[in-house]
Amino acid sequence: ERRPLVLLLFVATLAVTLAFDAEVDAQAGAYATGVLVLILSAAVAVALATWREARTGRHPDGRRGAPRRKPFVSLYFWLISAVFAFALIDNVVERPDGVIIAGLFCLAILVASALSRYRRALELRVDALSFANARSEQIWEAAKDKKVSLVPLRTASPKARHAKAREIRRYYNTRGPLAFLHIDLRDDRSEFNTALRVRVEKAVADGEGCLIIHVSGAVAIANTIAYVSEQLDPLALFLGLTRGNKMAQAVKYVLFGEGETGLLVFDVLRRHWASTPGHHVRPLVFLMSE
């Protein structure tokens, strides 16, 4: 049985031991720095949680009926955090070797994470899809398999739908109704994969019937559009192209799951299609300038 994490920890421990010549006193500064950072982060987390609970009246773990904490409780934890912060700063000034070691480990983690994200950035990044209600599932099933054209939109307002529908029908010869897709990103996008929640409803855009697909729980817009397209199997997929700086768009995609959506969706789909050759007839993909 493979145990890569155990081997990684063993290698890291061995490297630190060799670097300090297995001397306990030499490792004391680094150990103290790590412990103080851990305790300080825990104290700040509790202080933030109690401050938020006192401000909103909602318990951090979502329990109902829990007694509301007083504002001074948060102040108490902030004072404790300040004490640990002072102890950490004093320890770092006296023995900075702990910060150096921690910095090297942080750098290694960031590099490994960046390489992993880069290598897997074009995956679909979705574990499962569920529907908000039975009506949504019924409409979705009726729209599958080359029944609609999928149109992702940044905003879910009726005005945006009417304008996009008018633009598409003016320049393109479409068959069937349009299905407008709106995606809400999760607050916490640190998870690489996610489970989507879908709500589908019927509406009218530019005088003709259409579908509105609301997707919540996404961690990246481009990957979610590609996943929904593969599950829905539309006649065509209309993607908008922004006019922003390409480097800035790439950084936004890596950090926040946003960016040049149109080209990224096509890249994700192209990679997925390459891994599933001859799976089914691919949808027509149109790139529209916004």
Q: How many CB atoms lie within 10 A of CB 11?
A: 10
pLDDT digits (tens, 9 = 90+) for 11-30: 878 887 787 776 777 677 77
Calpha distance 209→204 (Å, rounded): 4
| Short-list 77, 49, 47, 80, CA closest to 63 | 49
| Short-list 108, 284, 255, 277, CA closest to 185 | 255
Element (H, E) at 202: strand 194-205
pLDDT digits (tens, 9 = 90+) for 106-147: 888 888 877 877 777 788 889 999 999 999 999 999 999 999
pLDDT at position 69: 58
Q: Which residue has the higher pLDDT, 56 or 40?
A: 40
The mean per-residue pLDDT over the stretch 203-221 comes to 91
Calpha distance 16→208 (Å, rounded): 68
Give the helix ranges, DSSP H, for the chain.
4-19, 24-56, 71-94, 97-120, 134-143, 158-171, 221-232, 246-256, 261-275
Secondary structure class of 58 (helix, strand, coil):
coil
The pTM score is: 0.67
Calpha distance 20→30 (Å, rounded): 10
pLDDT surpasses 90 at 168: yes
Structural domains for the chain: 4-120 (no CATH), 127-289 (3.40.50)
pLDDT surpasses 70 at 70: no
Q: Which residue has the higher pLDDT, 8 or 47?
A: 47
